[in-house]
Amino acid sequence: MAATGNGSLLSALREVVGPEAVLYDPDELAVYEYDGALDRARPDFVVFPQTAEQVAGVVRVCNRYGVPFVARGAGTGLSGGAIPVRGGVLVVLTRMNRIQQVDYPNRVAVVEPGVINVTVTEEVAPDGYYYAPDPSSQKACTIGGNVAENSGGPHCLAYGVTTNHVLALDIVLPDGNMLHVGGPAPDRPGYDLTGLLTGSEGTLAIFTRAWLRLMRQPEAVRTFLAIFDRLDDASETVSDVIAHGIVPAALEMMDKLTIEAVEPAVKAGYPPEAEAVLLIEVEGLRESVDVQSELVRQVCQFHRAREIREAETLEARERLWAGRKGALGALGRLAPNYCLQDGVVPRTKLPWILRRVAEHGRKYGFRIANVFHAGDGNLHPCILFDEREPGATERVLECAAAILKDCVDAGGTITGEHGVGVEKQNWMPWLFSEADLDAMARLKRCFNPKELLNPGKVFPTTKSCVELSGDVVERAEKLGIPLV
């Protein structure tokens, strides 16, 4: 579709959102052709609705013209989920950025999809509350994107990921109808559509408002940095902490290469000579925190931690977390590009999978930095490379596939929080049978029968950065899944 040549569609979009809220110039569209992953695809139009009614109006226009459309937040996604692989209209929700209500007695915040994650906590912190899911990109990512991807974060080990904190949603269905699902009351009858939609990667509906669960700030918080001379010792500590009945609020790991990037940039206090560090945070009632903290120290010492440091002040705690949250940005000091993966393994498999990650790095010729949610086995190997090097991107994706296949073989999965999107869709048959994929495809068609909303995502395709093996193609064809 030629964006500038389709005057009637342009006029219809402008009529819904206003002339200043539609982009179609190629130079302006180029900004919206990618997210935080490697894939790129340019939309034909970008629109900026400010109300749910405008979102519904845009969707109805797209249906009228048979044009695909994709919802987008801040573009921080890491699986290509908001990439318009078939062109069409990109519905950017960042102007819908109001916190509409905070209900402390019921511990609920009602927000629009363009609200930045950390803004929710900043709004309620003076009154002693916070919003638990905290992706590392929380200063940039939006609630709508978090709901679409079922985002996690360092503090989701104890409190659960986004789906555990979304109580209700206002949505626009792919045909333009508006609907409310869920509610603040517990154990509502009927199907859990809120749970179904959370994590659906923007393929079933567009979210226009969310009811979020708020939590009280804990009475006490203690934050530790455990320093190790062996990666295996740090990995074994993780599963042993949980085995002792301790579920920390956060249990994060960073390896030597990550520290090499982070420390000069953030000066968080990570020792550059260490092979790995664990960032461990326990919180709750003061007496309970004291007991758990002592157990954490004992477990770390048992596994030969060279040193265990405790943040004695709020400033010290924030500095430790600044290093963790700023790790991905700091990796730019080491290479112009990185491919961040998101596999999951059982905690007891961490020593093995980290050795396999290193082996794959040597095989394919890349340095790989590891910074990840160790407590729930959610790996984030960052494959460092330069996309200007001929063949580098293809080798990176082969390396990523090898790592994730190992995760599956270890009893894990291909994504813990970033989603499948376009990046991992061709690896879905590693996890799911034909019957599994068929059930998911049929459910998707119930919501999105015309395949206009965010097409070409999640299910296997034949056009991807990764070449499909014959069995994957055959399985997709048997299921009747549309091949892009």
**What confidence score (pLDDT) does residue 4 get?**
41
Pair 138, 119 in one domain? yes
Q: How many domains does the chain have?
A: 5
Cβ count within 10 A of residue 94: 17
Residue 260 in domain: yes
pLDDT in tens, 247-298: 999 999 999 999 999 999 999 999 999 999 999 999 999 999 999 999 999 9
Pair 286, 317 in one domain? yes
**What confidence score (pLDDT) does residue 2 get?**
43
β-pairing, 276-284 vs 220-228, is: antiparallel
Question: Taking Cα atoms as reference points, which of 380, 191, 221, 209 lies closest to residue 292?
Answer: 221
Residue 425 in domain: no
Tokens at 48, concatenated? 């900026």
**What confidence score (pLDDT) does residue 462 get?**
52
Is pLDDT at 232 greater than 90 in this prediction? Answer: yes
Residue 440 in domain: yes
Residue 269 in domain: yes
Is pLDDT at 467 greater than 80 in this prediction? Answer: no
**What confidence score (pLDDT) does residue 185 get?**
83
Which residue, 169, 184, 216, sits at the end of a domain? 216
Cβ count within 10 A of residue 97: 18
Residue 395, domain CATH: 3.30.70.2740
Pair 377, 284 in one domain? no
pLDDT band at residue 475 under the 50/70/90 scheme: very low
Burial of 337 (0-12, 13-18, 19+ CB in 10 A): middle
pLDDT in tens, 122-146: 999 999 999 999 999 999 999 999 9
Q: Which helix (H) or strand (E) holds 71?
A: strand 69-72
* Contact yes or no for 404/412 (Cβ under 8 A): no
Mean pLDDT of 363-382: 96
